[in-house]
Amino acid sequence: MTHNPASMTRDRLSPGTREEMCARRSASTRLLSPDIVSAMRDHVSGLTDEALNERFGISYNSWRKIMTGAPVNGGAKVGHSAA
């Protein structure tokens, strides 16, 4: 008999554990206010990983999320200028 590792993991997680994981994931992401997004858009010097990292400390992927209004990882230093 073969086992699917993914289903085994799901089976081991209790509903409380899944809820806790979702809560942690939600707590580690954040949405930025439109004012911050607008200010970032006004001060962007380039749309490359290097330019965005130098200016705001974020990656291009984080920039795309911010511009679409999606939540970004709470570890990103969003809105902080490196200069």
pLDDT in tens, 2-58: 545 554 445 555 556 656 655 555 566 788 899 999 999 999 999 999 999 999 999
Q: How confident is the model at residue 81 (pLDDT cuts 50, 70, 90)?
A: very low
**CB-side exposure of 44: number of CA atoms within 13 Å?**
19
Who has greater pLDDT, 18 or 76?
A: 18
Nearest to 58 by CA among 79, 37, 41: 79
Nearest to 67 by CA among 81, 24, 58: 58
Q: Burial letters for 52-76: b for 16+ Cβ neighbours within 10 Å, e otherwise?
A: bbebbebbeebbebbeeeeebeeeb
Q: How confident is the model at residue 83 (pLDDT cuts 50, 70, 90)?
A: very low
Question: What is the per-residue pLDDT for 8?
Answer: 47
Tell me the pTM.
Answer: 0.57
